[in-house]
Amino acid sequence: MDRPLRLPQQDRADFETELGRALAGPQVRAALREGGDDGHGVERLRRSARENAEFVLAAAAPEYERYATLRADADAVSRLPVDAPGGGRVSGLWGVVGVIVPVIAGAAAVIFLLVGYAMGLAEDLEVLGGALVAAGWIAAAVAAVGLLVGGLGLLNTASRARADEAGEAAEETGGAGELVRARDEWRLALAERGLLPYLVAQAGSLPDRRR
């Protein structure tokens, strides 16, 4: 019975894939033919490679260590909580300036202007009416300025958020690419320095069935 490989499931699948490719490759096939393959040599080699997997894997140990480290780092980063309280506070501030302030100031401007012009029609309230009209125009100016400043602030916050997301996406893409390259390098080293030399050597040591 084959001994289970002491590897994570994904790595076991990669080992089996490279083992299958090596067994189907011309070097191993030629070694089997020279050794008088009786039709069962491939399975004997497969079983031998699995039983001696630790020896085979040791040939690609540096590449595997780098790959495992990068994968552990990527897993740790993916588990970190995503939180941006500072950005949320800034966005909320611009929301107040851009929405709430113009609404309140605009409503006050309408009230002051209507009441002020109405009072201006009465001679004894003309001075108070003029003050309310002036206050109304000031409130209208505040509403306009608040709307402009708030809108510019929201646009600036949105552009920064897009830039941050693009930077994070680029970092994630770069990290993922490095992890893929590390995995490919490990599999190549496993095949070229581990599996192929071992399988060819074992194929040459199989009992010669031509005798």
Count of CA atoms in the C-beta half-sphere (13 A) of 2: 13
What is the mean pLDDT of the segment spanning 17-31? 92
* Whole-number average pLDDT of the chain: 79
Q: Which residues does 20 contact at the CB level (< 8 Å), separation at least 6?
A: none
- The position carrying tokens 């893409």 is 173
More confident residue, 24 or 171: 24
- The position carrying tokens 């199989």 is 206
Percent of the chain with pLDDT over 70: 75
- For the chain, the 3-state helix, strand and coil shares in percent, each to the nearest 5, are 85, 0, 15
Q: What is the dihedral of CA 29, 32, 36, 41, to 10 degrees?
A: -110
- Give ∠ CA 119-124-129 in degrees, rounded to 5: 30
pLDDT band for position 164 (cuts 50, 70, 90): low
* Two tokens, residue 92: 């909320």
The helix/strand/coil state of 69 is helix
Q: How many CB atoms lie within 10 A of CB 79?
A: 7
Range in 46-60, 110-124, 166-180, 193-207 with the lowest mean pLDDT: 166-180
